Chains A and B, each alone.
Chain A
């Protein structure tokens, strides 16, 4: 069914225009890029505000309160409301309560999460018999990388040498990540080019 949103102008021309406007930044900053930048930022800020209102304030707070009598949800509601107190100079200090709550809770939860989800599995995965080249690489890599992140002594002498091996392992891992991510970005570029040359301009079938 044809609607306003499936009209060629909206469906092809506008996305193509904004794609080209954003790419024009590669040449230099210009009014077309500024237009695209402001519309993009404004749209996403507005979309995010609407999304939060519907998915959090309405669905996770008001609806359970009204339909299931979950009045305990008033507490996070009040904490959220306190964030707006920064607009009132006399009540500004109240903003710190929800911030302290969120930051403290985050630190506490993350502490256990990291210990249980990262440290223990990493230790277990490193406990390998040194009877295979691959295992030796893994064990040496983990130990030397851990030494690199030791901050209590200057990296000189033996410690410096071990830390240098560690940084080599880190850099090799980064190189692999770099190549992998560049490939993903190239596929994004190919997607945009396909849209312009195949879907919009129809120069390539």
Chain B
């Protein structure tokens, strides 16, 4: 029996290091736990279980903002961030663009989407086109809706600022990754009297959005936004899975801090969470 166990351990020791970096096992465990939780909640959501998400003020304002633009006969300006497509925030921004463009298509509200890079432009064009087709208004899609502006952020800000002053959109929605141009854009939008809703996970830019916008989605609220707006089972399940993972992290943190405080294997506990 023990010989068999010994052989098994030897085989594992031989095979595992060849395929897995054992110094990164902690990341693998977190990855597996996180994925399992998310898959479980996605299954529950697709089965039809009702999953609750607390209301986020900024998101409830999106439809109200588009409605206001429709009443005023003015466009909605949507910026899916100023990052390239290889940023997860841009993907979240494009996902929200899909939901906003559904609403603009439904109400026949003009939509303007100025973009900084070519790849998000291609993705944004597809997203907007899909939404208009879903609403049975494919003929309303125009090339001016999604517009490539420039590959440099300050010239982009100058152009978007000019657009805001001249076209005076009734609602400006900024969702995605932003850098130094955040205040330049949001401040001009604020001076035109538009209702402004923003969301980003860039801590350096969030203070400016909070100062210049009516509603701001902070950090992870940006990722929760698409799930909240669409109520799509996969997104809802994923969000619920992330929430449970946060609870587990909280428990781990509390136990870890107690262990370190009361000197119960402190080195072992900190080593468990060392990123190699």
- Chain B residues positioned under 8 Å from A106 (CB to CB): 85-88, 91
A119 to B156, CA, bound (A): 33
Q: Are B85 and A178 in contact (CB under 8 A)?
A: no
Q: Are B270 and A127 in contact (CB under 8 A)?
A: yes
Looking at the assembled complex, report how far the CB atom of A183 sits from the nearest CB atom of chain B, in whole angstroms: 12
Q: Which of the residues B88, B118, B204, B246 comes within 8 Å of A150, measured between beta carbons? A: B246
Interface of A is mostly: helix
Q: Are B219 and A41 in contact (CB under 8 A)?
A: no
- Chain B residues positioned under 8 Å from A43 (CB to CB): 155
Residue total for B at the interface (Cβ-Cβ under 8 A): 70
A10 to B229, CA, bound (A): 52
- Chain A residues positioned under 8 Å from B118 (CB to CB): 83
- Chain A residues positioned under 8 Å from B239 (CB to CB): 151
Q: Are B150 and A120 in contact (CB under 8 A)?
A: no
Interface of B is mostly: helix
Q: List 30 A-B contacts (CB under 8 A).
A: A29-B166, A37-B158, A37-B159, A42-B150, A44-B150, A83-B118, A86-B122, A86-B126, A99-B85, A106-B85, A106-B88, A106-B91, A107-B91, A110-B87, A110-B88, A115-B27, A116-B27, A121-B275, A127-B259, A129-B257, A129-B260, A129-B266, A151-B54, A151-B224, A152-B240, A174-B203, A174-B206, A174-B210, A178-B208, A181-B204
> Which residues of A approach B to under 8 Å, CB–CB?
22, 25, 29, 33-34, 36-38, 40-45, 47-49, 51-52, 83, 86, 95-96, 99, 102-103, 106-107, 110-112, 114-117, 119-121, 123-124, 126-131, 139, 142-143, 146-147, 149-155, 170, 173-175, 177-178, 181
